[in-house]
Every structure is written in structure tokens, then in C-alpha cells.
Amino acid sequence: MTLQIFNTLTRRIEPFVPIQPPRVSLYTCGPTVWNYAHIGNFRTFLFEDLLRRWLGASGFDVFHIMNLTDVDDRIIKEAGAKQTDIDQLVRPYISAFYEDRDYLRILPAHCYPRATEFIAPMIRLVERLLANGTAYRGDDGSVYFAIGRFPAYGRLSQLDRRELKTGASERVSSDEYAKEDARDFVVWKAARPEDELVKAAWDAPFGRGRPGWHLECSAMALDLIGERLGTDVLDIHAGGVDLIFPHHEDEIAQSCAFTGQPDFAHFWMHGEFLNVRGTKMSKRFGNITTARDLQADGIDAGAIRLLMFGSHYRSRLDLTDESLWAAGEGSRRLGELGRRLREHRGPESAPFALAAGKMDKACTDRLDDDLDAPAAVAAVFAFVTEANRLLDHGDHPGTETLRSWERWTTEVFNVLPDLRTADADAAAVIEARLAERGAAKRRRDFVAADGIRDELAARGVVIEDTPSGTKWRLR
């Protein structure tokens, strides 16, 4: 089986074929940095992390972009209330997002473009939309996209245009702007006094103002993949289900109207919501939980990742104290088997080779089937049961079994307990992995050596190569 993905655009599971194999362009919608990202946001980011890891493990060369929205209505309102400018407001939240990302062992994107750093590409995009007639200036000086002039509008969300609600296309009320059609969405907002006050306004040929939320992602994605990959179509665009309409629908419209291409991305992937004790997170219910809340409570990142991957990314997941505890026990069980495997390492026994091969095939097949992480994780735990039985029987795991074990528990899922909070065997684990890293470097397998370094870093181990040898410490 080759990798197959559910494409929101077609509502079908389709074989994944990149535009320029083996290169894959992946754009994921990042946080709006007006506050701390909550764990529901990170459920989406963790699904995207698994996608990124599996693409890499499958031999693809992934170029990952995750945007940071650092100018929008909420940011401007918050900056005004705090009597600061938008840059000063968002900086600490950007730093916090990176800290939370590292805590949850999410691979860093290759680029984190901030919207305010891409104003020039946004202006060029609006100019072309005005020139080709798909955008127009409203009576209030703002620029709007005319969905009536883009026949394919609604293809992603599969909404009939008559169903589109007034004002649904922007994070503002429908009567705040004067436009030809109430369904049209703003691509460039005319500057207002409150924008100027917090330094959220820029000069443009069509009037001083600021970008609309949807415009930002289109301009950043097109500029970066054009510069790096020489294309104007993404392989995969991913985000939460709440972004299908209007955000991603509007991105498609303005991007395709700009490029003349029939598609902005070949595949659209969307992760489902995370509920907290049965209720969707919201200020209304007072149940917002952030990643740093969980970290402050001493919840291990391996447990959170295992919990997230225990449900399919297209299924809703309920976060409860009980589910977190169970995931923590599962992660601890995996860590314990890893310790036993290293302790009893020796010549590979046939039963161990068979069990590891069975796990490899099951995990590969399941992840190739639209990232069926729950089934793949179940295969890992089936191996845990069998491996413990074999160890009790006196069988020895060899190099291939250990390599397979590390691939699934660390490289792909990264769900083992943090070594900073693990048991007294942590030092032995670290020393064993550093020995393997040294061996990899001696045989000039620098990919494997870097992989071990990154694995240990994700688990809280700081490595320093010195003239007298490799030293390590826990963060």
C-alpha cells in the first residue's frame, strides 16, 4: 500500500502523489498570537506533526510552512486595550508558542512567516485581484473579493452560495463594511484610527490599511513556495475543521484568482475538535486548557501525544483526567519495555524478528491508510505484549528489533516518557543512546546520529560534544 489521504476537497481517500516528487510542500495554519494557544489548537498541530513525521519516514522531502497570524481584529483590540502596539503584544505569545511546541515534541516547521513580514506580497496579490476584476474597492475604502466573479467558490466547503451567511466570511460583523454583496469578504481593510494607534496600518496603492485574515495565508504560502520550490500550488494544506469555511474557502478563491491555477492545494486535510470533558473548549464554558496548564500539572508530553494519537485525526477526542491518566500509564508501559529490550539485547531471536516485522507491517499499513494512528498504536501495544512474553521466555531482541522499536515509539509517534521524570534507569537509557550515536558517527551515518540527538533533545537531554568526549545533562 502507498500513502492514501482523505482529501476534504473531494471527500474521498486518494493516493498521495506529490507535484514534484520526492519534494512535498506542506502548509499548516498556525496560531493567532494574541494569547496562549490552547490544547485544542495543539491537537491540530499534533496531527500535523504526525503527518510531517510520516511523510519524512516514507521518504518524502518535506518543506513545512506554518504561519503566525500577528495582525487581526482580536490582536488590534487587545493591543489597544493594553495601550501597546501589535508587535509588543504578540512577541511574548510567539515565544510561548515555541516553548509549548517544544514541550509537546512537535517538529519545528522550516518557516514560521509572520503576517506583518509579508505585507509587500499581500499588496501585490490585491493589486492583481483588482486588475483582473475579482476584487473591488468598497465605499468605505476597503478592498473586497467578489465571490460572484469566482464560479468555483464553495467547492471546498460544498456550500450552496444561497446558504452563505452574511458576515460569515470575516471575523467582523457584516454591516461593518460597505460592499457590493453581503457575502463578499474583505482582502484589505481601510485603516481606522484604532489601527493606526497600535501600528497596524500600511501604505498601499489602493489605500492605507491592513490585510484581511484570509489574504495573509495566501500571500505567505505563494511567496514561500514560489521562492523555494518554483511552484504556485501546494501539495498539502492542513488545519482544523473550523477553518474549512470561510478561511480555507476564501484562501482558494483569492489564490486561484491570483495565479490562474485551478487549485491552490492538491490535498486539503482537516483535524477534528478536541472536547474537554464532553464539551468543546470555549470561553463561554470556561474550559480553556492550554499546553502550559498541562505542563504545570506535571503531565508528560509522551502521555499527551499518546492520547492524541489514540483517536483518528478526523474523529472528535474527549480530554478528561481519566484519559490523561490512562495515556500516562500507556507511555510508562512503553518506556518500561524499552528498558527491558536494551537490558536483554543480544543475537536476534527468530521470534523477536517475527514480532518486530509484524509490528512494522501493521504500523506502516495503518499509517498509509489516512494516518490511522489508533490502529498503528494498537499494533505497537500488541508488540509490547508479545515482546514481554518473549523476554520472560528468555528470547533476545537484536539490532533490528531495537531499531524498529525506536522508529515507532520515538521517530514517528515520540510517545515515550520524558527522561527528566522517568525512573532511575534514565541515565542508562541516555548512555546507551549516546553510544549508538557515537557508533553512527564513526560509520559516518550522520542522519542516524542527528536523529538520536534530536530524540534525546525532545526528551529533555542537552548534549555537548567536547574534545574530551560527549557530555550530557537534563534540562
Return phi, psi of residue 88, to 5°.
-65, -35
Residues contacting 250, CB < 8 A, separation 6+ = 145, 169, 185, 214
Which triple of cell numbers denotes residue 144?
A: 473586497
Give the pLDDT score at 183.
Answer: 85
- pLDDT tens track, the chain, 475 positions: 699 999 999 999 999 999 999 999 999 999 999 999 999 999 999 999 999 999 999 999 999 999 999 999 999 999 999 999 999 999 999 999 999 999 999 999 999 999 999 999 999 999 999 999 999 999 999 999 999 999 999 999 997 655 665 444 444 434 444 566 778 999 999 999 999 999 999 999 999 999 999 999 999 999 999 999 999 999 999 999 999 999 999 999 999 999 999 999 999 999 999 988 777 666 655 678 999 999 999 899 999 999 999 999 999 999 998 999 999 999 999 999 998 999 899 999 999 999 999 999 999 999 999 999 999 999 999 999 999 999 999 999 999 999 999 999 999 999 999 876 555 556 777 888 888 898 888 898 887 888 788 778 877 788 888 888 888 887 6
What's the chain's Rg over C-alpha atoms? 24
Give the pLDDT score at 285.
Answer: 57
Reduced to 3 states, what is the DSSP secondary structure of residue 145?
strand
Tell me how many degrees the CA angle 393-354-390 measures, rounded to the nearest 5.
10
Of 279, 281, 365, 271, the residue nearest 312 (C-alpha): 271
Confirm if 400 and 356 have CB atoms less than 8 A apart. Answer: yes
**What is the spatial distance between Cα 385 and Cα 226, in angstroms, rounded to a whole number?**
49
Give the pLDDT score at 176.
Answer: 46
Beta-strand runs (E) in 126-243: 135-137, 143-145, 185-190, 209-211, 234-240
Which triple of cell numbers denotes residue 408?
A: 515507532
CB atoms within 10 A of CB 242: 15
Taking each helix axis from N to C end, the angle separating 321-343 and 301-309, rounded to the nearest 10 degrees, works out to 110
Give the pLDDT score at 204.
Answer: 98
Residues contacting 421, CB < 8 A, separation 6+ = 298, 300
CATH class as words, domain 18-276 = alpha beta
What is the DSSP code string of 406-425? Answer: HIIIIIIS--SPPTTTS-TT
Give the pLDDT score at 167.
Answer: 43
CB atoms within 10 A of CB 32: 22
Residue 28, beta-bridge partner list: 66, 238
How does DSSP classify residue 86? H
> In the chain, what are the domain boundaries?
18-276, 299-417, 421-475
